[in-house]
Amino acid sequence: MPRAGLDVRGLLETAISFINEDNLWRVSNSINLIAAENVMSPLALKAYVSDFMHRYAEGKPFKRYYQGTRFIDELEVLAERVMGALLGTSMVELRPISGTIANAAVFRVLGEPGDKAVIAPVQAGAHVSHTKFGTLGALGIRQVDLPYNEDEMNVDVDKAVKVIEFEKPKFAVLGGSVYLFPHPVREIAEAVHGVGGKLVYDAAHVLGLIVGGVWRNPLDHGADVMTASTHKTFPGPQGGMIAFRDESVYKAVGKTIFPWFVSNHHLHRIPATLITALEMAEYGEEYAKQIVANAKTLAEELASYGFNVLGEKLGYTRSHQVLVNVRNLGGGAWAAQKLEEANIIVNKNLLPVDPPEAVKDPSGVRLGVQEVTRIGMKQPEMRYIAELMYKVLVEKKDPRNVREEVVEFRKQYTKVHYCFTEKEAPKIITLLELLS
């Protein structure tokens, strides 16, 4: 019998309608420019929706605390080997279930409560997990900001070296969630190593650009550890990853992920990540180059329409991201809302000019082109997207009318690119086939 007061059939119908509407809206009727998202290939998606999603495997491959894991053991080892080959290391961990959990496991090993860590400031891209308001603070590690060079939109190297020499942190963190240009990895690595510390590089947003060879590999420039997400410019399932140059840190983090931060690590992620890694080995260079070309084109076109696009003197961007100051148009919160009404999905974002308390209504919006690139869009489409944004934010046209243009435009882009076709890949027996 259903629990008293629950209209089970009615609630089921409501849930299904929301699911179906979201699938239509986000997958086929909108332009998604959220910089932290992407879509898997059909093959990776089939691997993801597999019986592994029902199962548990605590511990390391072939040293589990559960039986019935021999196939996931083999897949996990293979996935780590392939990811390692793409990144030039034999030491990879795929058990963190997010980039934040990856950061937590590494920070816990590198620092004790009361120790200091120097981080790229929020203006230079720090993720909340790097800060006293997030994972770093939860672990009791003290945050010290590195100085910021507003002209270069990056860490101020000379001043940062002096801070590191004075503070003597246990570790430094570069990379993050909002940055257009590579951080000075080698210079910061040399400084932090000089005081006996380690360098962590958070590649959550740029892992696909690193694998694709258009963004330098921090492990080759002095980083001891690289954490990442597997679902942004690297177009796999949502999850985390850690790659290492330092074997002692690798071993210590491996003992910390389980049981400190992860029990079961959501096993269906592993085969989907493996397939995505193999697709990136085959198509990643082409994909990464197109991402950066698209971001640059979108930035240039928005600037030509009069938008205040950050980073002009540096070429606007070298990543998948574009940052636009829309304060004079109504602010980041207003702009993001109006664009959503037109089925153009972005996020409001703090800019270097904003104080931290402006987080609810910052000056900027952040755009990411990795998903629209994944579905086949190139430079001409970026110019059209800029035109649509101009109509909504500058000309103040009714977003509902622009939405009709967006829906019609998206009909041309229904296929995932830079991935294996069904003809190229052996058939996966899907879970639905088995259950039927």
CATH 3.90.1150.10 boundaries in the chain: 283-410
What is the greatest pairwise CA distance in the chain? 69
Q: What is the pLDDT of residues 28-56, one digit of tens each?
A: 999 999 999 999 999 999 999 999 999 99
Q: What is the CATH number of domain 46-279?
A: 3.40.640.10
Cα–Cα dist 228/273, whole Å: 13
Which are the contacts of 396, defined by CB distance < 8 A and separation ≥ 6?
Answer: none
CATH 3.40.640.10 boundaries in the chain: 46-279
Q: Does domain 283-410 have CATH number 3.40.190.10?
A: no
- At 1 the pLDDT is 55
Mean pLDDT by 10 residues, the chain (436 residues): 79 93 92 98 95 95 95 97 97 98 98 97 87 94 95 95 98 94 97 98 98 97 98 98 97 96 97 97 98 98 98 97 97 98 97 88 96 98 98 97 97 96 87 79
Beta bridge partners of 143: 117
Cα–Cα dist 367/141, whole Å: 32
Cα–Cα dist 238/223, whole Å: 24
Q: Is the dihedral of CA 145, 351, 313, 211 positive or negative?
A: positive
- At 433 the pLDDT is 83
Please give the model's pTM, rounded to 2 decimal places: 0.96
Q: Which helix (H) or strand (E) holds 297?
A: helix 269-304
Which are the contacts of 220, defined by CB distance < 8 A and separation ≥ 6?
Answer: 88
- At 356 the pLDDT is 80
Q: Which residues of 123-150 are buried (b: 16+ CB within 10 A; e: fewer)?
A: bbbbbebbbbebbbeebebbbbbbebbe
